[in-house]
Structure formats: structure tokens, C-alpha cells
């Protein structure tokens, strides 16, 4: 990459976006509230907003096989970074978007990034969105990430969102909202790890407005030590539609997890389901892996990695 990145910058980008050197395709890299480098492609244009900090990403109709990278890194202690990113995705597209934020904080002051992402997905388009959050550093200052994701899906579009929180995030409040037109399908998979005294709140509201629209919301989380998690998904069926919410959590140490899945039928033809399960790692699972030569600690980590994968 042409810009001057520190080893910490490079490590964060590799962790949250699998970036090693120059990404292929269109990209926008943001560090400590400022643009680092941006590249457009023949089919994807990234431009700076004029009304708010952030960018507009415009994908031409019919674009297929393109990747778009929009990672954010924060290494300045005491910084509160807010960014508004809006995606305008044309009809008949098939693209992948890689986002995420990594915070490195070695100070006592809190570092925070609030990302507000809005997606307008055209008819018959397919989108894969990957977002990873991660925190690190030796300081006592908090590493705060508060993402908001708003999704508007046109007819027969498909969107798959993989939202991952790795480690080191002191607190997070995640708000996800979506409205689906006829034939649209949304799959949200949230994978979350909290530890120490961290807190995580996730609020999801999905409105199935069109005939034959559908959503699947999957939450898989691990809460360790004294951390606290609250997961509150709501699926509203307003037409002949299908919705499924699944929440699974592993509880460790003195951690607490609260799962409040909800479904609301505003049409007699809506088919909605939800399920939730919270529990500890089964002892027989650890014992079985230990018979294969793993230590207890290694067996536990293997189970957690498999659960969150």
C-alpha cells in the first residue's frame, strides 16, 4: 500500500478485514477519523459525504464479482469517531462488502467508534456483508464500538450479513433494522464474544413487508468472566412471509446473558418462529476431547472456536 501504515495499523487491518498490502477492488481505509487511502473501480464509486462524516458507495446495476473494503481503525486514545456510510446498490448486482473496526488503546482515556451504515439494495441483487469488531491494547481506557445498520431491500433481493465481535471490546450497543419488499431474503448471523467486565447489547428489528419475504436471524455468543450480554430481536410479519430467530449462548464464569426473542404477526399468512438456548459447556464434550490428547484448556477453546465459527 502506498500510504505509511504502522505495524499496529497493519495488524488491525489484517484482523478485521484480512487486508495484507493493497486490497483488490474498491476500498476506503479510515484511521483516527481521517481518510488514509481510497480507490474506486470501474463499477464501484466511493465519494465523501457533504452533509456528514462518511462516504457514499455507489454500485452500478449489473455489477458482479466485485469486492468493496471499508475498514476503520482507531489508534488515538480519547477519540470518538462517528461515520455515516451509505450503500446505493443497483439492480442485478452480486458483490461482497468487507467492513469492520479495530481499536488499539494503550491509554486511560476511552476510544470510541460509532458507525452508521445504510444499505439500499436493488431488485434481484445479492449482497454478502462481513463486519468484524476487535479491541486490543494495554491501557485501562475503554474500547467502545456502537454500530447501527439500516437495510432496505427491494424485490427479490438477497442479503447475507455476518457480524462478528472477536475480543477486546469494552462495550457495544448494536442496532440493526431492516425492511424487506416482496421476495426479498435476509440472513443475519451474529457471533459475539465478551470477557472480563464487558457489556454487549444487540437490538434487531426486521419488518417483512412484502409477499414471500423471509428472514433468518442467528445469534451465537459466548459470555466469559463477569461480562453481560442482552440480545433483543424482533421480527414483524406484515404479509405472507417467513421469519425465524435462533439465539444460542454459552455461559462461563460469572457472566450473564439475557435473550429476549420476539415475533409479531400483522398478517394471518405470516409464519414466524423463535427459539433460544443458554447453557454451559457440557463436561462430556471436554472429556471426549481430552481423550484425544488435548488439555482441559485446549479442549474448552476448541469447543468455543467451533461454536462461534
pLDDT tens digit at each of 309 positions of the chain: 446 789 999 999 999 999 988 788 899 999 999 999 999 999 999 999 999 999 999 999 999 999 999 999 999 999 999 999 999 999 999 999 999 999 999 999 999 999 999 999 999 999 999 999 999 999 899 999 999 999 999 999 999 999 999 999 999 999 999 999 999 999 999 999 999 999 999 999 999 999 999 999 999 999 999 999 999 999 999 999 999 999 999 999 999 999 999 999 999 999 999 998 988 877 677 777 777 777 878 877 787 788 777
Tell if the pTM clears 0.85, that is, is over it: yes
Residue 47: Cβ within 10 Å count: 12
CB 239 within 8 A of CB 209: yes
Q: Tell which phi-psi region holds residue 133, choosing left (phi > 0), alpha (psi between -120 and 50) or beta.
A: beta
Question: What SS3 class is residue 73?
Answer: strand
H helix or E strand, kind and range, residue 299: helix 296-308
**The pLDDT value given to residue 163:** 96
Q: How big is the chain, counted in residues? A: 309
**The pLDDT value given to residue 3:** 60
**The pLDDT value given to residue 291:** 77
CB 259 within 8 A of CB 286: no
Q: Which one-letter DSSP state was computed for residue 19?
A: -
Distance CA 84, CA 115 (A): 6
**The pLDDT value given to residue 161:** 98
Residue of 39, 46, 126 whose CA lies nearest to 86: 46
Buried b (16+ CB within 10 A) or exposed e, 268-289: eebebebebebeebeeeebeeb
Residue 83 exposure: Cα atoms within 13 Å on the Cβ side: 30
Residue 107 exposure: Cα atoms within 13 Å on the Cβ side: 11
Report strand pairing: 111-121 vs 80-89.
Answer: parallel
Amino acid at each position: 500500500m502506498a500510504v505509511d501504515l504502522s505495524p499496529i495499523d497493519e495488524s488491525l487491518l489484517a484482523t478485521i478485514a484480512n487486508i495484507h498490502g493493497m486490497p483488490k477492488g474498491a476500498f476506503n481505509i479510515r484511521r483516527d477519523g481521517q481518510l488514509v487511502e481510497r480507490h474506486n473501480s470501474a463499477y464501484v464509486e466511493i465519494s465523501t459525504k457533504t452533509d456528514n462524516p462518511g462516504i457514499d458507495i455507489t454500485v452500478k446495476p449489473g455489477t458482479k464479482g466485485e469486492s468493496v473494503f471499508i475498514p476503520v481503525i482507531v489508534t488515538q486514545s480519547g477519540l470518538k469517531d462517528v461515520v455515516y456510510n451509505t450503500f446505493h446498490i443497483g439492480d442485478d448486482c452480486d458483490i461482497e462488502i468487507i467492513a469492520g473496526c479495530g481499536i488499539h488503546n494503550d491509554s486511560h482515556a476511552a476510544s470510541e467508534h460509532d458507525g452508521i451504515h445504510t444499505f439500499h439494495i436493488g431488485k434481484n441483487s445479492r449482497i454478502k456483508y462481513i463486519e468484524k469488531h476487535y479491541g486490543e491494547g494495554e491501557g485501562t481506557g475503554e474500547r467502545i464500538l456502537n454500530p447501527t445498520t439500516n437495510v432496505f431491500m427491494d424485490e427479490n433481493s438477497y442479503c447475507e450479513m455476518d457480524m462478528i465481535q472477536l475480543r477486546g471490546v469494552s462495550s457495544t450497543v448494536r442496532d440493526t433494522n431492516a425492511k424487506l419488499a416482496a421476495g426479498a431474503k435476509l440472513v443475519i448471523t451474529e457471533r459475539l464474544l465478551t470477557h472480563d467486565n464487558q457489556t454487549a447489547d444487540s437490538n434487531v428489528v426486521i419488518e417483512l413487508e412484502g409477499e414471500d419475504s423471509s428472514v433468518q436471524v442467528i445469534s451465537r455468543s459466548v459470555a466469559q468472566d463477569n461480562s453481560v450480554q442482552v440480545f433483543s430481536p424482533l421480527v414483524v410479519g406484515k404479509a405472507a412471509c417467513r421469519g425465524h430467530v435462533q439465539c444460542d449462548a454459552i455461559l462461563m464464569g460469572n457472566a450473564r446473558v439475557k435473550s429476549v426473542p420476539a415475533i409479531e404477526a400483522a398478517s394471518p399468512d405470516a409464519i414466524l418462529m423463535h427459539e433460544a438456548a443458554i447453557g454451559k459447556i457440557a463436561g462430556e464434550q471436554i472429556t471426549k476431547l481430552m481423550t484425544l490428547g488435548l488439555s482441559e484448556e485446549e479442549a474448552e477453546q476448541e469447543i468455543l472456536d467451533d461454536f462461534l465459527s
